[in-house]
Amino acid sequence: MTLPVAGAADVSRPRSVLDLVGNTPLLRLRRFERADGRVQLYAKAEWKNPGGSVKDRAAAAMILDGEQKGLLGAGRTVLDATSGNTGIAYAMIGAARGYPVKLCMPENVTPERKRILRAYGAELVLTDPMEGSDGAIRRVREVYQADPERYYYPDQYSNPANWKAHYQSTGPEILAQTDGGVTHFIAGLGTSGTFVGTGRFLRERAPHVQLVSVQPDTALHGLEGMKHMETAIVPGIYDATLADVDMRVGTEESYLLTKRLALEEGLLVGISSGAALAAGLRVADSLESGAIVMVFADGGEKYLSERFWEEPPEGSFVSGVN
Ligand code: PMP
């Protein structure tokens, strides 16, 4: 293999961590497809972003938007509520661009996440775990209102730059990577930015694509990063009319599929990827042919302290799940 020679004229060379965001691979999951291969399953490998998750896209867009609007500059701290991945993205980009970052999050966020955030120099405000991500949202509003001049509060739940990041990058990438052949798009709902932005792009450019949103099936669930809309503070950017189908998936089935992805495809991914696959397999079951694209939002490393990894992998290698 010949490596490209680096030089001043090489404009394609990344200059900072921001240039590494997006353009993630689309992987085919043959082990989870039916043998005839007529329904193809693809995973958008969002853990390949530099901060390790899909949220790098939204965080980069919101920080650049804040700079452009004059809301963020020297002396301001980036402040938000985040269950983890957006926080990691803010912390990474804040470090690269010279902004302090302060994050409100439930105390029970995995220790790995807290360590990553502190490694990037972020300040953490830990909130009551019983109140979940909504408790963190309430706290961030208090912190902001106490001293609004000090902070840039992107508010990922209400900021249009969140979903627009996906309208401008994730959507076009998926259409190009499938040569326009995608028939179903599946993404879990957290802030809903990924689903709403990618969904709106596909609705405009490829109206035949079925848009499938995925939520936890109960208020108390283990699908970190995802929201049960009926019982949560509904994000301002969420558009409930966009989805053709809004699916509910269980925590246990998502754990099982997360383990199977590691064992059978060699993909160590997060639990919401297992949830997306649970929805994808259900959609695949109902089709004769098609190309299903699922967003795999992050990698599995941050979840390795969770107990489900140690439970016997019953169901692994069992064929006929789909
Ligand atoms: N999965 C994981 C692991 C996440 O962290 C998030 C973000 N909260 C999502 C899915 C959902 O992404 P979005 O906020 O764009 O809806």
Question: What CATH number is given to the structural domain containing 145?
Answer: 3.40.50.1100
Are 133 and 180 found together in one domain?
no
Q: Which has the closest alpha carbon to 120: 71, 84, 155?
A: 84
Residue 191: alpha-carbon gap to chain centroid: 9
For residue 79, report the distance from its CA to the centre of ligand 1, in Å.
Answer: 18
Is residue 56 packed enough to be buried (19+ CB in 10 Å), middle (13-18) or exposed (0-12)?
A: buried
In the numeric block, the tokens 């695949």 are attached to 284
Domain of 60? Answer: 55-152
| CA-based nearest residue to 137, from 191, 215, 100, 82 | 82
Q: E strands along 130-183, which residues?
A: 151-152
Mean pLDDT of the region 202-225:
96
Distance CA 206, CA 4 (A): 36
CA of 263 to the centre of ligand 1 (A): 23
Question: Radius of gyration (Cα) for the chain, nearest Å?
Answer: 19
Atom of ligand 1 nearest to the CA of 191: 14
For residues 87-115, average pLDDT: 93
Return the pLDDT at 158: 96
Instruction: Tell me: do 41 and 24 sit in the same domain.
Output: yes
Shared-domain flag, residues 207 and 245 = yes
Query: Does the C-beta of 191 come closer than 6 Å to ligand 1?
Result: yes
Task: Report which protein residue has its CA nearest ligand 1's atom 6.
Answer: 225
Catalytic residue among 55, 114, 227, 302: 55
* 298 and 206 in a common domain: yes
Whether residue 127 is found in the same domain as residue 264:
no
Residues 304 and 221 in one domain: yes
Within a 13 Å sphere around the CA of 119, how many CA atoms are in the beta-carbon half?
Answer: 10
**Whether residue 101 is found in the same domain as residue 249:** no
| Nearest CA, atom 3, ligand 1 | 225
Residue range 61-71, pLDDT digits in tens: 999 999 999 99
Q: Beta strand pairing status for 77-81 and 151-152?
A: parallel
User: What pTM did the predictor assign?
Assistant: 0.92
Q: What string of H, E and C letters represents the secondary structure of 93-130? A: HHHHHCCCEEEEEECCCCHHHHHHHHHCCCEEEEECHH
E strand or H helix at 134, and its extent?
A: helix 132-146
CA–centroid distance for 144 within its chain: 25
Pick the last residue of a domain from 118, 152, 186. Answer: 152
pLDDT digits (tens, 9 = 90+) for 172-206: 999 999 999 999 999 999 999 999 999 999 999 99
Q: What is the largest CA-CA distance in the chain?
A: 60
Sequence-separated contacts (24+) of 28-35 with Cβ below 8 Å: 29/261, 29/265, 29/277, 31/264, 31/265, 32/260, 32/264, 32/265, 32/277, 32/280, 32/281, 32/321, 32/322, 33/284, 33/322, 34/284, 34/322
Same domain, 34 and 72: no
115 in any annotated domain: yes
Which H/E stretch holds residue 62? Answer: helix 55-68
300 part of a folded domain: yes
Is the confidence at residue 160, as pLDDT, over 70?
yes
- 55 belongs to the catalytic site: yes
pLDDT digits (tens, 9 = 90+) for 24-76: 999 999 999 999 999 999 999 999 999 999 999 999 999 999 999 999 999 99
Q: Is the pLDDT of residue 322 over 50?
A: no
Give the mean pLDDT of the chain.
Answer: 92
Q: Which of 131-135, 138-142, 264-268, 294-298 has the lowest mean pLDDT?
A: 131-135
Check if 12 is active-site. no
Distance from the CA of 305 to the center of ligand 1, in angstroms? 19
Q: CA angle, 267 as apex, 255 and 184 as ends, to 5°? A: 80
Percent of all residues in the chain with a pLDDT value above 90, rounded to a whole number:
83
Given 114, 272, 273, 302, the catalytic residue = 272
Q: Are residues 210 and 139 in the same domain?
A: no
